Each structure stands twice: as structure tokens, then as C-alpha cells.
Structure 1
Amino acid sequence: MQSPQPLRNGGVETPSPRPRIQAHFQSTVSLQKLRRFNTLILVFRLATFCFTLAAAIFMVTNSRDSNPPHWFDFDSFRFVFAANAIVAIYSLFEMGASVWEISRGATVLPEMLQVWFDFGHDQVFAYLLLSASSAGTAMARKLRETPTCTANNAFCVQSDISVALGFAGFLFLAFSSLLSGFRVVCFVINGSRFHL
């Protein structure tokens, strides 16, 4: 047992019966793993942003002249545009959050909220994007059976490109969703978003 130590002001320091709380220690290897994991998430977010933004741009620029058809005449193509634009905006926000986390070592929102926010939104927007791309594919196939694509093949090709870019965006968002799901599991098990 430690003996009481005299203080400068004449009092006596008594040892606390509670154990001292030690600061959380992270090794250099652990910090490198965190940085690599966060960088991988950032790459997937960037790819999702690029593909969904390109899909939205290809769809919205699909009717250059005043002659029909126009992309906004088809509900499925409006859905493709809206879903890709929404996911592009979400991915831009998530890229900012990833950069913040890499540079500061902390999440933008409180850790528990950030983990569930990322996972929940990744799931919802991945299903939204998959649904829109599937609807766009069905409409593009239907148009191939009509004289529309014969009269204006560029319209159909650009619609196909937009839908394909949307599927690629979904693929990268699905990868992001897997990583954010991993973070949720680690948080539930360990109380931290990373298992080290």
C-alpha cells in the first residue's frame, strides 16, 4: 500500500480506492489499419459518387432537341435520374465525412450515431439505386421493341449508358454498405467501430 504523499499546500494526498483510468492505447499498426480501412471506404464512396453523377448527367442530357422522345416522358427514366442524383448527393456528403474521419481521427457525428447513419443510409440508397436501375432496364428493353429506337437510336443508347452507370454506382454502394455493416457489427460487439 502506498503511503500518503505530502502536498505543497500542507495537505496530504491519499490514494484513491478506485483504479486509475488508463488512456486508450493504439499501436502504430492499429492506426495504419484504421487509415487503410477509412481510405478504402473513401474510394468506394468516390466511385459511387462518380458513377451516379455520370448516370444522372447522361439521363438529363438525353433529349438535346425539341423532338420527342424525351427522358422525362418516361416514369422509369425520371426515377433513374432522381435516384442517381440523390445517391450522388449522399455520396458527396459521405466522402466529406470520410475525409474528416481520416484527417481528424474522429467521426463527424457521435460515433454510435455515425455508424448507424452510414449503415442505414447505405442500405436504403443501395436498394433505391437497384430499384431505379432495374426499372430503367425494363423501360430500355421495352423501347428496343418499338420504333422509337429505330428513329432515334442515340436516345436509346444514352439511356442504356445511364442505366449501366447506375448499376455500377449500385455495385460500389453495395461494397460501402458491406464495410459500414462491418463497422456496425464491431460497434455492437466491442463498443467501437473498428475491431483491432
Structure 2
Amino acid sequence: MTNPDKVNSISPPPLAAVAAGDAEGQTPAQGVGESDVMRRWKREDFLKKTSFALRSLCLVFSLLAFIIMATNNHGNGREFDDYEEYRYVLAIAILSTLYTGFQTFRQFHEISTGRDIIPGRNIMMLDFFGDQIVAYLLLSAASSAVPLTNHMREGADNIFTDSAASSISMEFLAFTTSAISAMISGYKLSKQSYI
């Protein structure tokens, strides 16, 4: 027979023995902890801010290319309207300004409020494909106008060709920032969870 007094004398382990904050008595797995989560959050925050900065730069460069080319009218056959290549540069600068203006506003809203204007996973696809398309259009427009500008500079180097070269340079810089932004968008898209 058992002594009923002895059975009741066994007491549960003291609460002080349980680790602080570990109410279930579990120990964290090795290699996974708060520091990994914090590094991931910091990396995602860094990517958001870098993408915002690159799109802001692309907006500035596109806007400058647009303004410089649109004001490149100096009379006597020296107007950008007379050349298809320069009209193409202007059109792509306008498209790039509109796209990057929208994306910059959207990202500023997301960074400042923590909520996205367009919810869902489709925004990552829009970011990636939009950045890719704009980058290729910018490169195409700038590349189409370089030979014409070089040919015109052989005859006479004047303010018209200098303005055209400045606009083309701004489009190349806009292309560079848009291409880097597209790489970041591609990285974010590849790290997206599909579950």
C-alpha cells in the first residue's frame, strides 16, 4: 500500500526554474532566433529605401531629359520637332517621368504610412516588369539619338547639339537607375513567398 501523505508531498517544479518568457518550457532552436528576423527586416527596409532612392533619381533624370529636350528650340532648323530621334527621346522621357513619378509617390506613401496603395502580391510584378520596360525604353531612346547628335556635332557644335547631348545623358542616367531598380525588384520577386 502506498502512503497517501507521500503522494501529495511531491510538488511541481518551482516557477523560477522556467526561463523568463518561456511559459511552455521550450528552448529556441539553434540558428533561428530574433537576430535572424531582425536582419531580414533590416534587409527588407534597406531594399525599400534603396528602391525609393533609385526611383527618385530616375524621376529627376527623366524630368530633366524631358525639360531639356522640350526646350531645345533655337530656330533656323534647330528644333527638336524636326528630328524623329529627338521626338522619341522626348516621348520616352515623358513616359518614364509618369511611371517613376507614380512609383515614387507609391513608395513614399508605403514608407511613411506602412501601407501600400495597391495591396496584394501583384505590385511586385508591376514593379519588376514596369522597371524593366522603362529601362529598355530609356536605353532605346538614348541610343537612337546618339548617332544623330554625333553627326550634327561634326558640322557645327552649338547650343542645340549641346542641349540634345545633355538630354541624352540624362536618359542614360535614368536608364542606369531604372535598371538597378529592376534588379532590386527582381530580387524581391524571387524572395516572395508563394504559400
Shorter-chain TM-score range: 0.7 to 0.9
**What letter matches 2:81 in structure 1?**
F
Kindly provide the CA deviation profile for residues 106-128 of structure 1, in whole angstroms up to 9, marking residues without a partner as x. Answer: 33223321010111111111110
Counterpart among 39, 44, 48 of residue 58 in structure 2: 48
- Aligned-partner Cα distance in 1 for 2:101–2:146: 26
- Who is 1:133 aligned against? 142
- 2:191 is paired with a residue whose SS is helix
Aligned to 1:167, which of 157, 172, 177?
Answer: 172
TM-score, normalization by structure 1: 0.76
Structure 1 residue matching 2:73: 3-state secondary structure = coil
- Between the aligned partners of 1:143 and 1:99, the Cα distance in structure 2 is 42
State the partner residue of 2:5: none
- The structure that has the greater radius of gyration is 2
Give unmatched runs, 5+ long, in structure 1.
1-24
> How many residues matched?
161
Q: CA RMSD in A?
A: 2.0
Within the candidate set 85, 88, 98, 2:97 is matched to 88
Gaps of 5+ in 2: 1-33
Q: What is the percentage of aligned positions where both structures have the same residue?
A: 27
- Structure 2 residue 67 is the aligned partner of structure 1 residue 57: yes
Distance 2:122 2:134 in 1: 18
CA contact (8 A) 1:38 1:101 kept: no
- State the distance in 1 between where 2:148 and 2:62 align: 19
Aligned to 2:129: 120
Structure 2 partner of 1:143: 152
The aligned counterpart of 1:32 is 42
CA contact 1:107–1:114 (8 Å) conserved in 2: no
In 2, Cα distance between equivalents of 1:184 and 1:28: 20
- CA displacement at 1:69 relative to structure 2: 1.3
